[in-house]
Amino acid sequence: MAPTEDAAAATLPPPHFIIVPFVAQGHTIPMVDLARLLASRGARVSLVTTPVNAARLRGVAGHATRAKLALDIVELPFPTDVAGLPPGIEHVDQVTNHNHCVLLFAALRRLAGPLEAYLRSLPPPRRPSCLVSDWCNGWTAAVSARLGIPRLFFQGPPCFYSLCDINAVDHGLHEQTAAAHDDTEKFVVPGMPVRVEVTRATAPGFLNSPGWESQWAESMDAMRTSDGAVVNTFFDLEAQFLACYEAALGKPVWALGPFCLVNRGDAEATASRGNAPDVARQSAVTAWLDAMDTDDSVVFVSFGSLVRKLPKQLFEVGHGLEDSGVPFVWVVKEQDAAAPEVREWLAALEARVAGRGLVVRGWAPQLAVLSHRAVGGFVTHCGWNSLLEAIAHGVPVATWPHFADQFLNERLVVDVLVVGVPVGVAEAPVMMLGDESAPVVAREDVARAVAALMGDGEEAGERRRKAKEFGEKAHRAMEEGGSSYEGLTQLIESFRQSGVEKKAKDVTVHE
């Protein structure tokens, strides 16, 4: 850097990152963690969302204020005249009808105008240095292009999945699977450093089902025209897939995770991550776990924020946990537990397993549970946030994928990382709102998977050993000198440098 640029850098304000999460909990949580990471390292960060979603993020602003971080929440007005979309729906968790999902995406695309107006209104000292947008928010690409703002996309799944996805597109895998005779025919994903097989039902891809063509095309184009990607993973977990994904994408890929470890040392942030603080519930769950005499003895069971389970499947899960003989904490969504017959059945189950099993209705502090010394296994839907939270805390998993990236995430943790045991779900997607036609996983399979996960055999011991090893590597990655820590330093400095060049040369920065 020239001397004049050194002087300019010394007087410049910190780089300003604009974060635009997609309005689903599994997408918002890691991008909020990313915002806190950036702000904790001296960058200015603005989280841009809609009023309903901003209300959910107020706790983040509170944590940032107490920590004296430069992190703001910016509200954009949500369109109120989208035909067919009920008033008040601004978040995927609020959707109860599949048809409303497409309408919600259509409404979000209309945020482009308000976002551009907000960005144009910022004074020179707070001019955006970089816009980081969820892959699903492809509509942000045109805004950043018009304003000359560098743009990165955030890819929620791991590099393993993202590499499968881009190779599937580039090598015509979707056309091959579409012509399959049935859902049992297997196809090899091309261009992978390890052998990966998929079926028509489990082939990679978001938004690529009928009715989503325009959204998929927009997001893919935004990915291709971006300046790079940010991924919630770390080098020691996915080194070979990270390198291959960066090569296939042809752009920098910043592996900066596990983002969940930004909450280290902040008990309140850990307890409230993903929801408003519920002190009573947190205390009850923690007290129950504290009463366990043996470390790593409890299995935690939770299926994420979206998947709804019908009563017939809930009953099989509960019976399987009971039959396993293993102490458990099981999270059941309020909607799933609302039916009278389910409430009655859960009450009877709790009576039978009193002292050994805890049923949590509604939300549970997942990160606090997974980091508790009593928890030694996790039955999960294979969403990447949940899997990475388990890995970061050295907890092996039993895998029960449902849709989207989850089947390939299962392959990563079971076949490559060897920290998971499959429940044995049939390879067919399950709709997130409850699907009457979906195959039911039997109680015997649930009990078998839990017993294998929590058992004393050689395979179980090896899974635990590998999980603990990855947990240690995850923490090292986030510490000063670690791969993710240094990657974040480079990311921040690269956009601080962009600001120096802009001031010195008065040109719009593009890659």
Who has greater pLDDT, 182 or 281?
Answer: 182
Per-residue pLDDT at 505 exceeds 70: no
pLDDT in tens, 221-246: 999 999 999 999 999 999 999 999 99
Who has greater pLDDT, 98 or 484?
Answer: 484
Per-residue pLDDT at 481 exceeds 60: yes
Grade residue 504 by pLDDT with cuts at 50, 70 and 90: very low
Report the chain's C-alpha Rg in angstroms. Answer: 23
Token pair 């590099």 is at which residue?
159
Decide: 50 and 76 in contact? Cβ < 8 Å: yes
Judge if the upstream peptide bond of residue 128 is cis by omega within 30 degrees of 0: no
Say what the pLDDT of residue 271 is: 56
> pTM for the whole thing?
0.91
| CB hemisphere CA count around 254 (13 angstroms) | 23
Say what the pLDDT of residue 510 is: 32
Say what the pLDDT of residue 267 is: 57
Who has greater pLDDT, 201 or 235?
Answer: 235
Say what the pLDDT of residue 479 is: 97
| H-run or E-run covering 359 | strand 357-361
Residue 302's DSSP bridge partners are 380
Decide: 495 and 501 in contact? Cβ < 8 Å: no
Say what the pLDDT of residue 278 is: 61
pLDDT in tens, 26-84: 899 999 999 999 999 999 999 999 998 888 787 766 667 667 788 999 999 999 888 88
pLDDT in tens, 102-159: 889 999 999 999 999 999 999 988 899 999 999 999 999 999 999 999 999 999 999 9
Question: E-strand spans in 164-233?
Answer: 187-188, 197-198, 229-231
Chain centroid to Cα 454, Å, comes to: 25
Say what the pLDDT of residue 65 is: 66
Say what the pLDDT of residue 396 is: 98
| Ramachandran bin of 373, using left for φ above 0, alpha for ψ from -120 to 50, beta for the remaining angles | alpha
Residue 48's DSSP bridge partners are 74
Say what the pLDDT of residue 335 is: 87
Share of the chain above pLDDT 90, in %: 66
Who has greater pLDDT, 13 or 165?
Answer: 165
> For the chain, first and last CA: distance in Å?
18
Render 2-43 in DSSP notation, one character per residue. Answer: -HHHHHHHHHSPPPEEEEE--SSHHHHHHHHHHHHHHHHTT-
> What letter does residue 415 receive in the DSSP assignment?
I
Q: What's the CA gap between 182 and 321, in Å, rounded?
A: 33
How many CB atoms within 10 Å of residue 113?
Answer: 12
Decide: 506 and 127 in contact? Cβ < 8 Å: no
Q: Which residues of 154-167 are buried (b: 16+ CB within 10 A; e: fewer)?
A: bbbbbbbbbbbbbb
pLDDT in tens, 251-272: 999 999 999 999 776 656 555 5
Q: What's the CA gap between 155 and 232, in Å, rounded?
A: 8
- Most confident among 66-70, 172-176, 367-371 (mean pLDDT): 367-371
Q: What's the chain's average pLDDT?
A: 88
Q: At what angle do helices 159-170 and 235-249 cross, to 10 degrees?
A: 20
| CB hemisphere CA count around 439 (13 angstroms) | 12
Per-residue pLDDT at 503 exceeds 60: no
Say what the pLDDT of residue 473 is: 98
Per-residue pLDDT at 195 exceeds 80: yes
Share of the chain above pLDDT 70, in %: 87
